[in-house]
A and B are shown apart, each in its own frame.
Chain A
Amino acid sequence: MKKKNPVPLLEFTSKGIYCSLADVYLDPWRPVAKAIISHGHADHARWGHKQYITHQDNVAILKHRLGAIVVSGKAYGETFSINNVTFSFHPSGHVIGAAQIRVEHRGEVWVFTGDYKIKNDGLTLPFEPVKCHTFITESTFGIPVFHWPDPVEVHTAINHWWAANNKAGRASLLLGYSLGKAQRLLHFLDPSIGPIYTHSAVGNMTAVFEGTHAFPPYQNLTAETSKKALAGSLILAPPAATEASWLRKLGDYRSGFASGWMHTRGARRRRAVDQAFVLSDHADWPGLLAAVKATQCENVITTHGYTDLFAQYLREKGWNARTEKTNYEGESIDPKPTL
């Protein structure tokens, strides 16, 4: 039986999403004593908390990114209680080790998605809908212009693009976030086309998944790598790798950027890469709607992206939807040095 809790199960405070009953924060953006972390991206997993609780696959990621921290890992579906509040992690399909956080107290259930996508990326455990009363959802791409193409076709297009550059004796610089996008891209690259190099930010992050996930052979691009070796190769780098001195090392190359933002011409022109690939680790418009429906929730709280437009649309469709301000940044079109 669901009894009304005296205070909301989760509140939006200046430090992050707070559960006062358990005295714990979800993805806080200011240092706190105890933090439950949805996934390893910098805007969700910040430095400086005394204690971290996260999915077990995310532990290594957090340690790689944040260094020596006190962290405990849980399996998907494994419940744990803090002051009679029950928590569990459920696959969000966003990046490896990413989870939605389910919070339950006296029969009332809230789910915080962190970031998520519905389409199976072939590398991450797919999104699993969780029934709840209140659904705190990201809405990075929460307007109806975003309909993702089939990712399999995008990976094929990337390999074709690389093959064409390879034939012309040019390198292919493929940009994508070091955590998540890079591994997904790497996993589907066809190593028969040519050698694969990684920017150290990508290579070192990917090394964390060695042994648990399958990747074609790759090596970090170093100061010793010659331009000759790079001709015809594919270089996987974070979007922030745009310093002229680094790019000069690549010789003749074409650039490509894999992001959901590449879906619109304005954004493509703004990013000014040679080739845009529409590939996102966030849900598109139909994905967001499907996720909200699948939870059978009554209340929706939207965070990051087109929050107010998505909430207004949901209200018209009968949900009790509102927007809360957070410090999450979503997928950015511009290079960010922290990722």
Chain B
Amino acid sequence: MIAFSTLIQQLDQTNKTNEKVLALRNYFLSTPPEDVLWTIALLSHRRPPRPVTTTLMRTWAAELAGLPLWLFEESYHIVGDLAETIALVIPESTATLKPQKLNMLMEAIIALKPKGEDEKKKFIIDHWQSLTGLQRFAFNKLITGGLRIGISQKLMTRALAQAFEMEENHIAHRLMGQWTPQNTTLDQLLFNPNPEDLLSQPYPFYLAHPLQDRPDQLGECAAWIVEHKWDGMRGQLILRQGKWYCWSRGEELISEKFPEFEAFLSLPNGTVLDGEILPYKAGKIQHFALLQKRIGRKNISPKLLEQYPVVLMVYDLLEWEGNDIRAKSAVERRELMERLFDQYQNQNLPWLLSPSLHLPSWRAVGGERQKATAIQSEGLMLKRADSPYGVGRKKGDWWKWKSDPLTIDAVLTYAMRGHGRRTNLYTDYTFALWQGDTLVTFAKAYSGLTDEEFRKVDAYVKKNTLERFGPVRRVKPALVFEIAFEGIAPSTRHKSGVAVRFPRILRWRHDKKITAANTLDELKALIVQ
């Protein structure tokens, strides 16, 4: 626990990648294996379920610090991190707890979950009172989860590779899947994996980078495979020894959500496919929102299957005849995949082959990109024809070139203090559109302005507050912003009746009065039927 919190401090203190990796490497080499295992789990989003709600943590922290709850909440909004706020408001105490090993503490946290509230409160307050500021912060992070401390899985993998003198790719592969520190050991996980675990083990997903400029700089158009960027859920389908597994990009086993994929067992053993799971009905790809109806359900009833059928839009082949073929070129992998697809075409499997768009020039590619939304695609994928299948976010071989975002002019109606680095400014905004003569909220956005613009809007908010609700202020409607978003779908959960994806501020429309902002009906007209 002490070593772990010191590690967090070291990672926090430097903004240099090499120093972070070095700190991790040294930690891995100097820490007992059971704690290394827990650290890997925590840094790869495998935290145990939260034993108490954050609401209770807030209440107890305010109580212990002798603060009214509203002041604690305001402080939290200013600091931007709950674990940190709690660590900061509780006065330092002199009593210290016996140093506890990380794995012991984690086991205690797991054991806490089913206990009664009084017992939970005692456990947590005892720790708050006996740990020093830094350890208290680490402890809170362990309880609340979400250990976001500027360490990507890639950096952790690199540090492990350096510490144990293994190849980064091998480590990345070994870390995949649904292991927990309780059902494995460091030795089993990294050095001597048992064959049964290997059966279901997925390959690390290769991720595309967004293309910022025109594609011309990528060289000859002919050296690239161009496909659509499908708007669904990334999935890896594994067929080995008569068993099948489907993994999500978040390394969750999602086989149960898609029972229709059992049909893929008719494909040869030793096949692994990479693709996008899409809602698909009556020969047409459906809107992404329909997929969420499937993902969101615990029980997949036959009725649900019938209502919201899916397909796997296949775009890569990672394992063939039991061999890892990721090192083959994209063209070769595609050839094998197309052959497989042809061979099993008549079997009525729930799959489609993501077509390679043979376009003569970048200009033609650009034209195709703008048509993408009409077929429920977000734009295009550009894959270097001679490239192997990479690991993680390695830059250069896969690019996503999204269609231009949809935009609309909306009115600023509410503002909230920013989190993290924008602690003193009102930078989280709510935007509304006209419906008759009232403004209806349709989106929240907190990025897209320059620091200077944020300061100006902040000053406006402070001078034009109509009402305050805790950290939120209702402001006099007067400022118009152009809001961009990636997609739009009907929604019953939103007051506006629509949900937009990834809204962000494109620019401040100083030239527009609020009467010139768009209407809700104009927004709804953007929904592709």
Contacts and interface: CB of A to CB of B under 8 A. Distances in A.
Contact of B423 (A144, A147, A267, A312): A267
A139 to B, nearest CB: 13
Give the size range of A's interface with the partner: 20 to 34
A309 B88 CA distance: 17
B13 A143 contact: no
B92 A309 contact: no
Interface in B2-22: 12-16
A11 interface: no
Interface stretch (A124-132, A184-192, A268-276): A268-276
A80 interface: no
Contact of B15 (A145, A274, A309): A274
A265 B84 contact: yes
Interface in A86-144: 143-144
A266 B79 contact: yes
A143 B91 CA distance: 13
B99 interface: no
A272 B13 CA distance: 9
Contacts of A306: 78
A153 interface: no
B85 interface: yes
B460 to A, nearest CB: 15
Interface in B63-113: 65, 67-68, 71-72, 74-75, 78-81, 84-85, 88-89, 91-92
Contacts of A145: 75, 78-79, 85, 88-89
A272 B88 contact: no
Contact of A266 (B68, B74, B92, B423): B423
Contacts of A265: 12, 81, 84, 420
Given A147-B92, A264-B88, A265-B84, A270 B74 contact: no
Contact of B420 (A266, A272, A274): A266
Contacts of B65: 144
A49 interface: no
Contacts of A313: 68, 71
B50 to A, nearest CB: 21
Nearest to B67: A144
B284 interface: no
B421 A270 contact: yes
A145 B16 CA distance: 27
Most chain B CB atoms below 10 A, which of A264, A272, A309: A264
A56 B92 CA distance: 39
Interface residues of B, number: 27
B419 interface: yes
Interface in A253-296: 263-270, 272, 274-276
Which secondary structure dominates chain B's binding surface? helix
Contacts of A275: 13
Contacts of B423: 264, 266-267
B71 A143 contact: yes
A272 B15 contact: yes
A316 interface: yes
A272 B88 CA distance: 21
Nearest to A272: B15
Nearest to B83: A265
Nearest to A305: B424
Most chain A CB atoms below 10 A, which of B13, B14, B421: B421
Contacts of A272: 15
A132 B420 CA distance: 38
A309 B84 contact: no
A144 B71 contact: yes
A144 B91 CA distance: 10
A234 B429 CA distance: 43
Interface in A300-339: 306, 309, 312-313, 316
Contacts of A266: 79-81, 419-423
A264 B420 CA distance: 9
A268 B74 contact: no
Contacts of B74: 143, 309
A269 B421 contact: yes
A208 to B, nearest CB: 32
B190 to A, nearest CB: 31
Nearest to B89: A144
A156 B444 CA distance: 46
A267 B88 CA distance: 14
A297 B23 CA distance: 51
A314 B15 CA distance: 39
Contact of B84 (A144, A264, A270): A264
Nearest to A309: B74
Interface in B179-223: none
Given A145-B78, A274-B14, A275-B13, A263 B88 contact: yes
A182 B13 CA distance: 22
Contacts of A268: 12
Interface in B441-465: none
Interface in B22-81: 65, 67-68, 71-72, 74-75, 78-81
Contacts of A144: 65, 67, 71-72, 75, 88-89
B79 A264 contact: yes
Contacts of B422: 266, 270
A308 to B, nearest CB: 9
A312 B79 CA distance: 19
Contact of B88 (A147, A269, A316): A147
Nearest to B72: A144
Contacts of A147: 88, 91-92
B88 to A, nearest CB: 4
A265 B134 CA distance: 11
Contacts of B68: 313, 316
A299 to B, nearest CB: 21
A47 to B, nearest CB: 24
Which 6 pairs of residues, A with B, have the shortest CB-CB distance?
A: A270-B421, A145-B88, A266-B420, A143-B75, A144-B89, A266-B421
28 contacts: A143-B71, A144-B65, A144-B67, A144-B89, A145-B85, A147-B88, A147-B91, A147-B92, A263-B88, A264-B423, A266-B79, A266-B80, A266-B420, A266-B422, A266-B423, A268-B12, A269-B15, A270-B420, A270-B422, A272-B15, A274-B13, A274-B14, A274-B15, A274-B16, A275-B13, A312-B71, A313-B71, A316-B68
Interface of B: 12-16, 65, 67-68, 71-72, 74-75, 78-81, 84-85, 88-89, 91-92, 419-423
Given A143-B78, A145-B85, 6 more contacts: A144-B72, A145-B78, A147-B91, A264-B79, A270-B422, A312-B71
